[in-house]
Amino acid sequence: MPMVTNSIDDVKFTTKIVLKTLLTFDDATATGPDGIPSILLKRCSSLLAEYISSIMNKSMEGGRLPADWKKATVVPIYKNGDKMRPSNYRPISLTSILCKAMKKIITERLREFLLQEQLILDEQHGFVPKRSIITNMLQCVNEWVSNHDNGLPTDVIYLDYEKAFDRVPLRRLICKLKHFGIRGKLLA
């Protein structure tokens, strides 16, 4: 495992960052249980950003989200197969847009930290800006063509772990996060 020299233990929510984040939401973003629509937050963002950043900072300092931000309306979305089988649906949680904004800011700050510490491998394409399944496939095809041109064999194995994220032991995940410099209030 790579050695990490720095750490991150909280995120500061500046008015500027909150304003910028509120403006990223689509006007049609589904409203959460708090009933506050994204279009209202966007249109009033310059008036509200300072107050929202204060709420987010107090939430981070205290390690607690406002109660309404923890609520979600769960909607089953059909995937495929027999519509009578519950396993053919995936739950979508409609949460507060303000909570989504806070998560977006934290996610971006964590991504910056991981990139700065060089903890994201070149081979990773998921959840990395400017990368996708397309860039992943291009990298694979490029390697396969190179191997073919050089007379090298190429074996490919595709794996898909069903519900992989649901199976990660929480204690192990927290230990890994700490090892990679993610600490303090971000683990609360």
pLDDT of res. 1: 64
Between 7 and 122, residue with greater pLDDT: 7
Report CA-CA distances (Å) from 102 to 22, 26, 77, 99, 171.
10, 16, 25, 5, 24
Q: Which residue has the higher pLDDT, 3 or 103?
A: 103
Give the max Cα distance, the chain.
64
Domain edges within the chain: 15-119+159-187, 121-157
Query: Which bin fits 35, alpha (ψ -120 to 50), beta or left (φ > 0)?
Result: left
Backbone conformation region of residue 125, classed left if phi is above 0, alpha if psi is from -120 to 50, else beta: alpha
The encoded tokens of residue 160 equal: 């898909």
Structure confidence by residue, pLDDT tens digits, 101-134? 999 999 999 999 998 898 988 888 888 888 998 9
pLDDT tens track for 23-80: 999 999 989 999 999 999 999 999 999 999 999 999 999 999 999 999 999 999 999 9
User: For the range 40-48, what are the long-range contacts, defined as Cβ-Cβ under 8 Å and sequence gap of 24 or more?
Assistant: 41/97, 41/98, 41/101, 45/19, 46/19, 48/22
pLDDT digits (tens, 9 = 90+) for 145-155: 999 999 999 99
Nearest alpha-carbon partner for 98 in 2, 12, 14, 25: 25
